[in-house]
């Protein structure tokens, strides 16, 4: 009797979540109405209710989290198939993330745009000659130095954590001179293969379209990179969950951020290049270290 006394309030709350979820299903797709004796058969399963609660909580947080989680909704009334409404929700969420990424992919300043043009030209030339991976980065950095830029290959390293493994990543940084007398030099990051870092297994159609919006070559400051990585990593997570796949540790946002925002070592230029630079500025070669902001 005690259980019966406490059951109605709990069922009432779950019923509200159930009714709210059912509104997402078009009338044509809903189950035929049951008579009074069969209402209990239409109660959602525990797995379904878990999905409803998650959906309810995510919708309450705001559109940003909804986009980041790909709009997960219960679909137990469709035998595991995706409803038209769910597809619409996923498309809307992907559109929001795509708009966010669209505002972040373009270079922020004219100097960044000019640097991007130079980097792409050097990449094309050295790739055509057969250069790959770390050697390609060193050749591009050397070409940028020959054009008057303070450029070098940087190698970031990070330790293992409970959520992701240890690793390292190589990219180029360019120290642009201060734009004004009172300003400081600007550190611009250059990644020659940025888009491929976000490729995932069995991507959804929405994620494939979003991936094409990412620049194949990134040139920009770390603040813009941080926002771009956050948006792209959230979209990758939603795509994997949509396919029922586990999010691998090397695609988690914190791992992706670590690639460009971890402590790094700045490689010294080769001895012959350093000798030429030493004649110009009177400074010898050295290996710099730094911590990304």
Q: What is the mean pLDDT of each run of 10 residues along the chain (293 residues)?
A: 49 50 48 46 45 43 41 44 57 71 86 96 96 94 96 96 91 92 90 94 91 93 93 91 90 92 91 52 50 62
pTM of this structure: 0.63
**Alpha-carbon distance values, 93 to 73, 171, 189, 240 (Å):** 13, 31, 29, 15
Task: Determine the pLDDT at residue 181.
Answer: 78
Task: Determine the pLDDT at residue 256.
Answer: 93
Task: Determine the pLDDT at residue 102.
Answer: 82
- How many whole angstroms separate alpha carbon 101 and alpha carbon 78? 33
Task: Determine the pLDDT at residue 104.
Answer: 85
Task: Determine the pLDDT at residue 163.
Answer: 85
Task: Determine the pLDDT at residue 182.
Answer: 80
Task: Determine the pLDDT at residue 105.
Answer: 81
């Amino acid at each position: 009797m005690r259980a019966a006394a406490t059951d109605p309030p709990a069922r009432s709350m779950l019923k509200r979540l159930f009714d709210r979820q059912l509104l997402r299903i078009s009338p044509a797709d809903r189950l035929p109405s049951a008579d009074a004796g069969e209402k209990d058969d239409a109660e959602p399963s525990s797995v379904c209710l878990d999905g409803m609660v998650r959906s309810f909580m995510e919708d309450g947080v705001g559109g940003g989290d909804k986009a980041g989680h790909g709009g997960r909704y219960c679909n137990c009334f469709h035998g595991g198939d995706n409803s038209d409404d769910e597809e619409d929700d996923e498309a809307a969420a992907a559109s929001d993330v795509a708009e966010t990424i669209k505002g972040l992919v373009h270079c922020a300043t004219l100097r960044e745009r000019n640097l991007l043009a130079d980097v792409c030209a050097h990449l094309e030339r050295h790739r055509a000659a057969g250069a790959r991976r770390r050697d390609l980065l060193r050749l591009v950095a050397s070409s940028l130095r020959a054009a008057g830029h303070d450029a070098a290959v940087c190698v970031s390293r990070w330790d293992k954590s409970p959520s992701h493994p240890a690793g390292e990543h190589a990219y180029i940084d360019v120290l642009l001179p201060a734009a004004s007398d009172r300003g400081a030099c600007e550190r611009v990051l250059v990644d020659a293969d940025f888009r491929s870092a976000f490729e995932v297994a069995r991507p959804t159609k929405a994620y494939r379209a979003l991936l094409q919006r990412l620049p194949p070559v990134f040139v920009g400051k770390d603040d813009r990179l941080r926002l771009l990585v956050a948006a792209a990593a959230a979209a990758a997570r939603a795509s994997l969950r949509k396919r029922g796949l586990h999010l691998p540790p090397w695609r988690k946002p914190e791992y992706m951020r670590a690639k460009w925002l971890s402590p790094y070592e700045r490689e010294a230029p080769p001895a012959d290049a350093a000798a030429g630079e030493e004649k110009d500025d009177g400074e010898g070669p050295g290996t710099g270290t730094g911590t990304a902001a």
